[in-house]
Amino acid sequence: MSVKHNIQTTDLLIIDEVSMVSAKTFNKVEVLCRKVRDNNKYFGGIQVILSGDFYQLPPVPNKIIGDSGSHCFKLPWFDDCFPHKVQLNIIHRQSETALIQCINALEKGEVSNENVAFLNSLDRPLPNEDTAVHLYARNYDVDIFNYNKLQQLQGDLKTYKSTDVGSDFYLRKFLAPKNLGLKVGCHVMLVRNLSDTLVNGLCGTVTQLNSDSVDVKFIISNKLSTVTLKPVVFTTYDPADKEYLAKRTQIPLKLAYAITIHKAQGMSLKRVVVNCEYCFQPGQIGVAVGRAEQVEGLRVCNFKKSMCRKHPSHVSDFYNNFTLGILKDDLSCCRHVIENNGEKNDDSDSDDDDNDDDDDSNDNTCTYAIDDNFNSDSDFSDSEIEKLEVLDSFIETNVLTKDQSSSQAKAAIDSVFNEYVGSHLENDMKSFKMTILENFSIFDEWYQSQISIIEDIGLISLPEGEKNYTAKQQHDFFMKFHKHLNSEEYVNSVKSTISMYSKDEGTSAIYYQFMTAILFYLERRFFEDLPSHLNLQEPESIKNIPTSDELSSPARGKIRYISGYVLAKLKHNLSIKIRNSLFAVGSESKIAKLQDQMNILSSLCSSYDVLLNSSIDPESLEETKRKQNERESLTNITDVTFDFFSKLETLCRQKLSHINLVEHGKNLFSYVTDEILNDKCLFDLWVQTLTSNYNIQYTSSDNIHNIIHSITLSSENYIDIYNSAVHLFLKVSFSQFRRDYLTFLKKKNGCFVRCHLYLLFFPQFKIFSQLKISAK
C-alpha cells in the first residue's frame, strides 16, 4: 500500500515517543498530511494522538538537513492543534519506590546524594548477566560489545556483506551494518519495518544461516515464529537534488547483545546493564535505568553525578502549563481549520517559535528528507520513495531549475564549500550548503543580484574589450568592490537572506562568512586572466612568538580546546574505520591494531570533572570550557598531553612565518609539516607523553614473542597517531596563520585590498609563488 494512500485513508494517527520527534520533522508530517489530503485542517483532518515524556530523550539534531533538534511542542501552532493534554501518573513497569524515585530524579536531572548512593550500589554483577541487554550511549561501544560477544559464541561465523552505492558519509549512518557477522544461536534485532508484526526493534534468535538469507525465531503475538529474512534496500534520499545519496542492500538485522539507549527508549527489559560512560543528553541515564523492571535485574556502571543534565527550562514550563482544556463530546475541538490562524504553519525551515517570520517566504513548499541518522532508520522502502515523488505534483516546491545560471550558482556553492573541507567549520558549512540547496530560490535570487552588482563595478572600472587593464583600473575595481562589501546594502542583503534560512545567531556569523566567500568567488571570475605579477611591499615579521611558559591562560585554554578537537576528530575517524572493519573477512589483526590506537588516543584524554580535580592549570580549563560553550562532554586533554600540544603549537608558530611563506610559497604547508614531523625533540616528547599515559597491555602468561609483537605494534601505532595528530593540528594552525596574516596585511600594508583578495582566492597561498616578494 502506498504512503499516499495510507495518508489519504488514515483517521487516527498515534505518534509514540514524541519527545524524540523534532519540530522540523513534525512540521513536515503536518504539511504533508494537509497537502496530500487537500484539506486545510491541521494534519489534513487526521485525528492525532501524541504520547511520550519530554523528560526522556530529546530529538536528535541533524545538521545535514538543517534540523536543530528542537522539541515539537515549540512549534507555534502546537497548542492550537493539541488543546488537550493528559498526564498518566501511575507507574506500572516498576514497583520499587527507590527505583521509581531514582528514575524520576535522573530524567529531571535533579539527582540527590541518596540517588547517587543507590545507583552506585547497583554496580555489581547480575545473576545470569550473560542474558542481559547492555545499553550504551554510543553506536561505537554497542558494535564493539556485540563483536566481542559474537566472537565468544560457539559455532561458525558467517558474514553477509552489503552491496553499497553512494557516499560513505551517508552509508555509515544506516542501522544495517556493512558486514553483518552472525552465528546460529546469536541474538539479533530487526532494523526495518517489514510488516505490521515484523517491526523495527523486534528481537529474536538466529536459527539458520543460508547463502543469501537468514532464518530468525521471533516471538510475535505471544507465539514463536520463524521468519526467513532476505536483503532489503536502505536508502538516503536528497529531496533538493531528487537523487539518492546512498543505497545499501543488506539483510535488515543487527546483533542485539548491546543496543544504544536511544534505540532502547520505550522498551521494558528484565535484565539490563547500563553503561553510563559518554551519556551526554538530558534524561539519557533516566531512560536507560527506566528500562529495568526490577532492581534485581539492573546493573549500573560508570555512573557519575556530573553526567546528569537538566532539560532546558521550556520542558518544565511545558508541564507546568498542563491543561485538559475544553473537551467537546464530538471532539470538534480537536479539528481546527488552519485558515483561521493566518496560515501560521507551512514547511519553512523554522523549527521553533522564534521563526514565525519565515512563513511567507516558503509558503506552500514541502520537501522531505529520508533521514537515516544514528538512531532512526528510514521506514520508507525504495519503491515507496518513488511513489512519494508523485506527491511533488501536489506541492509547489522550490525545485532547482536546471538552467545555466542556477548551475553556475551551484558550482559557486561547491567551490566555496570545498575551501572549508577539513577545517573546523566544515560541518557547519555543509549544513548551510544543504539548507541552501533545499530552498535554492532564496539563495539564487541573492546570487543573481550580486552578479549584476559586480558586473556593474567591472564595467565601470574595467572597460570591455581591453586585453590588459592598467594598475589604476584594477585598483579602482578593488576599491569599488571593497566598498560594496562594506556597504549597508550588501550587509543587509546577506543578513536578510541568511535570516530566511536560520534564526540561530550562533550560526549566522558562520553563514555570513560563507556568503561573503561566495562574493569573492564571483569576483575571482573577473580576474582569472589578470597578469599576476604585482609587487608587494615586504611586511615585517608578524609578531613575537611566546614560548610555552609565557602563554597566557586564555592561550593555554585555546591550545587545550584545539587539541581536544584534534583528538576527538581522530577518535571519530578511527571509530568509523573500526566499525566498517568489524566482521570483514580477515580483518581481525587490523581491528586489534585500530583498537589499540583507540586506547592510545583515549589515554591522552580525560573527562572534565576528573581534570578539574587533578589539573595543575584550572584557569586554562575554565577557558576551554567557555570555548566549548559550556559543553563539558566534549573531549578534554590531560595535563601531560597539554605539554606536548603546547610544544607543537610553539613550533607551528615558529615555522609558519613570513620568511618561510616567501621562501616556500604554495608549498609552505608541506614544508612545515615535514619540518615538524622530523623534529626529534617533539617526537621524544610524544613518546614520553604516551608512555606516561598508556601502558602496553600483556599478561604474565604471554611469551616473549607475544610481548615483542605488542611492543612493535604499539610503536607503529605511536608513529601513526603522531603523524595524524600533528597533521591535523597543523591544519588548524595554518588556517589561524592565514587569518593572522590577513589581519597583519590589512593593518600594515597599503596594498592590503589586493593581498586580501588574492589570499582569499588562492588557498594555500598559491599566489605567493607567482608574486615577487622578497625577504629582507
Ligand X SMILES: Nc1ncnc2c1ncn2[C@@H]1O[C@H](COP(=O)(O)OP(=O)(O)OP(=O)(O)O)[C@@H](O)[C@H]1O
Whether the Cβ atoms of residue 23 and residue 72 lie closer than 8 Å to each other? yes
Smallest gap from Cβ 17 to ligand X, in A, equals: 7
**Residue 309 CA to its chain's centroid (Å):** 20
- The contacts of residue 473 (CB under 8 Å, 6+ apart) are 461, 462, 463
Smallest gap from Cβ 268 to ligand X, in A, equals: 5
Considering only the C-alpha atoms of the chain, give the largest distance between any 2 of them, rounded to a whole number of Å.
89
Q: Which is nearer to ligand X, 189 or 517 (CB)?
A: 189
**Contacting residue, 4, 93, 270, 484, with ligand X by CB under 6 A:** 93
Site for ligand X in 230-269 (CB under 6 A): 266, 268
Q: Which is nearer to ligand X, 91 or 659 (CB)?
A: 91
Whether the Cβ atoms of residue 603 and residue 690 lie closer than 8 Å to each other? yes
Site for ligand X in 279-318 (CB under 6 A): 290
CA distance 751 to 770: 16
CA distance 290 to 56: 10
Burial 227-254 (b: 16+ CB within 10 A, else e): bebebbbbbbbbbbeeebbbbbbbbbbb
CA distance 608 to 80: 43
Measured from each CB, the residue nearest to ligand X is 92
Smallest gap from Cβ 328 to ligand X, in A, equals: 26
Smallest gap from Cβ 294 to ligand X, in A, equals: 12
End-to-end CA distance of the chain: 77
**Contacting residue, 92, 223, 680, 776, with ligand X by CB under 6 A:** 92
Position 89 contacts ligand X (CB under 6 A): no
Whether the Cβ atoms of residue 303 and residue 276 lie closer than 8 Å to each other? yes
Smallest gap from Cβ 272 to ligand X, in A, equals: 13
Q: Which is nearer to ligand X, 279 or 388 (CB)?
A: 279
Q: Which is nearer to ligand X, 270 or 577 (CB)?
A: 270
CA distance 236 to 548: 48
Q: Which is nearer to ligand X, 20 or 604 (CB)?
A: 20
Smallest gap from Cβ 544 to ligand X, in A, equals: 60
Q: Which is nearer to ligand X, 31 or 279 (CB)?
A: 279
Q: Which is nearer to ligand X, 203 or 742 (CB)?
A: 203
CA distance 266 to 52: 9
Candidates 157, 156, 234; CA nearest to 190 is 234
User: What radius of gyration do the chain's Cα atoms show?
Assistant: 29
Smallest gap from Cβ 267 to ligand X, in A, equals: 7
Smallest gap from Cβ 176 to ligand X, in A, equals: 24
Q: Which is nearer to ligand X, 261 or 605 (CB)?
A: 261
Q: Which is nearer to ligand X, 1 or 88 (CB)?
A: 88
CA angle 357, 360, 362 (to 5 degrees): 105
Site for ligand X in 147-166 (CB under 6 A): none
Smallest gap from Cβ 62 to ligand X, in A, equals: 23
Q: Provide φ and ψ at 176, rounded to 5°.
A: -70, 125
Query: Is residue 682 classed exposed, middle or buried when 0-12, 13-18 and 19+ CB atoms within 10 A define those classes?
Result: middle
Tell me how far CA of residue 656 lies from CA of 127, 408, 454, 730, 744, in angstroms.
Answer: 60, 35, 34, 10, 14
Q: Is 249 left (phi over 0), alpha (psi -120 to 50) or beta?
A: beta
Site for ligand X in 456-475 (CB under 6 A): none
**Contacting residue, 53, 371, 377, 438, with ligand X by CB under 6 A:** 53
Whether the Cβ atoms of residue 718 and residue 686 lie closer than 8 Å to each other? yes
Smallest gap from Cβ 106 to ligand X, in A, equals: 12
Smallest gap from Cβ 285 to ligand X, in A, equals: 13
Number of residues that bind ligand X (CB under 6 A): 6
Q: Which is nearer to ligand X, 268 or 715 (CB)?
A: 268
Smallest gap from Cβ 172 to ligand X, in A, equals: 28
Q: Which is nearer to ligand X, 316 or 516 (CB)?
A: 316
Q: Which is nearer to ligand X, 266 or 546 (CB)?
A: 266
Tell me how far CA of residue 572 lies from CA of 95, 302, 579, in angstroms.
Answer: 40, 21, 11
Which residues bind to ligand X, rule: CB under 6 A? 53, 92-93, 266, 268, 290
